[in-house]
Structure formats: structure tokens, C-alpha cells
Amino acid sequence: MSGNRLIQRFENPPQPPTHVLVSSKVIVCALTIANIAIGAVYLHDCPRQRFIPIYLIVMGVFGMALTLLSYLPCARQNSDEPPNPLSPVCVIWNSLTSTFMFCWFIAGNVWIYSVYRPDFQKNLLNPDMYCNKNLYLYAFWTTTLVYILIAVALLGGCCMLVCLCFCSGADPDDDV
């Protein structure tokens, strides 16, 4: 069996339909706006872990910046177009921003999961143990949703890889 057909499939992957790309960007924009709004509204409502609302605001701002920058012409480069001189700058900016967001996400995980199940009611005896219920649950479930989506993507990718290997192995055009 020749691996050329399998390699060609990885080199030229099919592109998702335009409506899928637009829908995903709209969903990402809505989530980033929600992050900013919830973080700003409840900025001082979590003394148990004061970085949770800041985490949401920063993730929202940088997520929105990455989404908006993906529309710039320097972010896309087709092989049939001449090289764009700003393309390396965009690649460096996207790489740095993505690296920062990954590190910030890890920090947010520590802040959110380390205070799991804070007091949702203000207690006069110990007011520093309080965290607004809406703020905390939103941060907790959006962070957990990222892990769920990663697991689904990994599982789906593994299934596609197995199917691709089986389908390419049964191709009658391959030489033995």
C-alpha cells in the first residue's frame, strides 16, 4: 500500500463551508463579549478569588482581538497570491497572543478550580469566602466547556484518523 494518497489528504485538507466558519466566529464573539460583560459587572463580587473576574475580562479582550484580527488580509495567505510583507508580523502576533492566552487559561484554571464551591452567600463572620454565584458558575462552566470541546475534538480526530486509515487501505488504485 502506498502512503501517497494518505499524505495528499493531509496536505490538502477539505475546507469547512463558509457558514460553519461564520457561525463559529459569531459564537466566539458572543462568548468573548459575555466574558467581558460578566467580568466587568461582577468585578468586585468575588473576594474569595479576586482574579476570576479579571481572568474573564482579559480572556474576553484577547479572544475578541484574535477573532477580529483573523479578518485582516495579512492573516490569510493563499499560495497563488504574492507574499504579503505583513504576514510574518501577523504570524508572530498570533503566536504570542495564543501563547499568552494559553498561559492565562492555565492561570484561570488554578484560580477557578482552587476555590471550588465557594460560599455563594455573603457571610458576616467570614466575608472573604464569598464569590458571586453567577460569576463563579459562568467561569467554572465556560472553563469546563473548553475541556469538553477539547475531548470531543480529540475523540473526533482519532475516529477520523482511524476511518481515513481504513478507507485509504481499501483503495483499489493503490499498488501492492
* Closest to 62 (Cα-Cα) out of 39, 85, 87: 39
Supply the pTM of this predicted model: 0.78
Highest mean pLDDT among 18-27, 59-68, 165-174: 59-68
* Three cell numbers written together for 24: 463559529
DSSP conformational letter for 2: -
pLDDT at residue 3 greater than cutoff 80: no
Residue % of the chain over a pLDDT of 90: 49
pLDDT in tens, 71-116: 776 655 555 666 677 778 888 888 899 999 999 999 999 999 999 9
